[in-house]
């Protein structure tokens, strides 16, 4: 069951929704509109509770700095 990211075409609210069936209708939680665009999303790698990445003692932010495109950890590969 994937979680999809959307942006409402009416009020521009960004939201996530767990999709149980492909024919399921998704509505904006802010305004109730069913007009939305599916957004490309990236996944995040799990980190330990202390914020350090596995075994190297560096924080996740140091290992995967946020880039200017906003893609974040792992990014879209545009850099």
pLDDT tens column, 66-77: 445 555 555 555
Where do the structural domains in the chain lie, given as residue ranges?
1-41, 52-79
For residue 35, how far is the Cα from the chain centroid?
19
pLDDT tens column, 12-58: 999 998 888 878 889 999 999 999 999 887 777 777 666 554 555 55
Q: Domain 1-41 adopts which CATH fold?
A: Rubrerythrin, domain 2 (2.20.28)
3-class state of residue 60 by DSSP = helix
The secondary element (H helix, E strand) that includes residue 25 is none
């Amino acid at each position: 069951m994937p979680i999809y990211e959307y942006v409402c075409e009416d009020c521009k609210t960004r939201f996530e929704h767990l999709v149980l069936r492909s024919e399921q209708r998704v509505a904006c939680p802010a305004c109730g509109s069913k007009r939305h665009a599916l957004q490309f999303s990236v996944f995040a790698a799990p980190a330990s509770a202390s914020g350090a990445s596995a075994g190297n003692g560096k924080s996740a932010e140091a290992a995967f700095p946020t880039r200017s495109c906003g893609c974040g950890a792992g990014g879209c590969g545009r850099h």
